[in-house]
């Protein structure tokens, strides 16, 4: 089948099976075409929590589908690409976190949503890049263990002044951004505003014009598109799909990716064909052991409740 036929078949299956397709912003543009909702981790978690669909097809990576299953155990949750596993999530494990908690028994454990269900189960609260600053600020009077992203954790530490013990994990896509990338981008595209994701290294964050999550970067462009001078524009310092999506949305704007090497290969493993096959065969189904799910749910619920209270966006 060609692309249009696949989209038509997927939409037919969605209706027939009362399924909802949640798509992360880093997914291929072709996958965006069948999405019921597109967003970052916080937005997708919120959407998953309130869906009345019988089936959730999660076009993202493993921890995202796991989070949906934790929130909605009665739903059938499918991950179209079985090997779409987040490397950062695999950098933390429950056993090591338990050992760290013994060293700092008084600490609050704040875990980035890019983590396994087992690690979430050992945590007090989950955060995303969109609400991490606000959550750390809320707990900054206590010692904090922040896992697994050292760059996001350090950014929160610097901004809030919180006493944070950092885990040695990172997102390989953002960790590879460098001062060299910025020099080249600024040389090729002068007068452009540099927008960078907080999963990036400190030296990159230090010279960014704006630091924010995927949704916050996109919102910044939404709010400023059409307001810049003719020779100005935006350099997007996150996964390349965001720059592509923004350029498609605003074809008259000067929008450039900070570096074309910023590709999450795990996200790109999901294709229209795999979404169709997943819906047709109802594979690969995600399961979370119930005792782990209940503990992880407390941490996810804590995030959703605090985010609503703080008005996180």
CATH number for position 306: 3.40.50.10800
User: 121-172, pLDDT tens digit by residue?
Assistant: 999 999 999 999 999 999 999 999 999 999 999 999 999 999 999 999 999 9
- Residue 46 has a pLDDT of 84
Task: Judge whether 262 lies within some domain.
Answer: no
CB 108 within 8 A of CB 144: yes
CB 207 within 8 A of CB 179: yes
Q: How far is CA 265 from the centre of its chain?
A: 14
Structurally, the chain folds into a number of domains equal to 3
Residue 43 and residue 107 in one domain: no
Which domain range does residue 138 map to? Answer: 89-171+291-310
Task: Judge whether 112 lies within some domain.
Answer: yes
For residues 13-18, average pLDDT = 97
Q: Name the pTM for this structure.
A: 0.94
First-last CA distance in the chain = 39
């Amino acid at each position: 089948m060609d692309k249009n036929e696949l989209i038509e078949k997927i939409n037919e299956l969605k209706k027939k099976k009362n399924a909802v397709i949640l798509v992360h912003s880093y997914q291929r543009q072709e996958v965006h075409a069948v999405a019921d909702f597109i967003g970052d981790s916080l937005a997708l978690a919120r959407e998953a929590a309130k869906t009345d669909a019988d089936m959730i097809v999660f076009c993202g990576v493993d921890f995202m589908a796991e989070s949906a299953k934790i929130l909605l155990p009665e739903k059938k949750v499918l991950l179209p690409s079985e090997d779409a596993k987040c490397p950062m999530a695999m950098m933390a494990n429950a056993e090591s976190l338990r050992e760290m908690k013994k060293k700092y028994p008084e600490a609050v454990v704040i875990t980035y949503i890019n983590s396994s269900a087992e690690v979430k189960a050992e945590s007090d609260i989950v955060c995303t890049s969109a609400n991490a600053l606000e959550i750390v600020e809320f707990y900054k009077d206590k010692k904090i263990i922040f896992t697994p992203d050292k760059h996001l954790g350090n950014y929160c530490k610097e901004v809030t002044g919180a006493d944070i013990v950092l885990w040695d994990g990172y997102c390989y896509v953002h960790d590879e951004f460098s001062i060299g990338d910025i020099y080249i981008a600024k040389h090729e595209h002068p007068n452009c505003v540099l927008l960078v994701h907080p999963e990036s290294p400190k030296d990159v964050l230090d010279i960014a014009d704006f630091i924010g999550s995927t949704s916050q970067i996109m919102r910044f462009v939404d709010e400023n598109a059409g307001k810049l001078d003719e020779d100005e524009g935006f350099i997007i310092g996150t996964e390349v799909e965001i720059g592509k999506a923004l350029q498609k949305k605003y074809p008259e704007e000067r929008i450039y990716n900070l570096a074309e090497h910023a590709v999450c290969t795990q996200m790109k493993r999901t294709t229209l064909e795999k979404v169709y096959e997943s819906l047709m065969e109802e594979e690969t189904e995600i399961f979370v052991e119930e005792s782990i799910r209940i503990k992880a749910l407390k941490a996810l619920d804590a995030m959703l409740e605090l985010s609503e209270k703080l008005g996180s966006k």
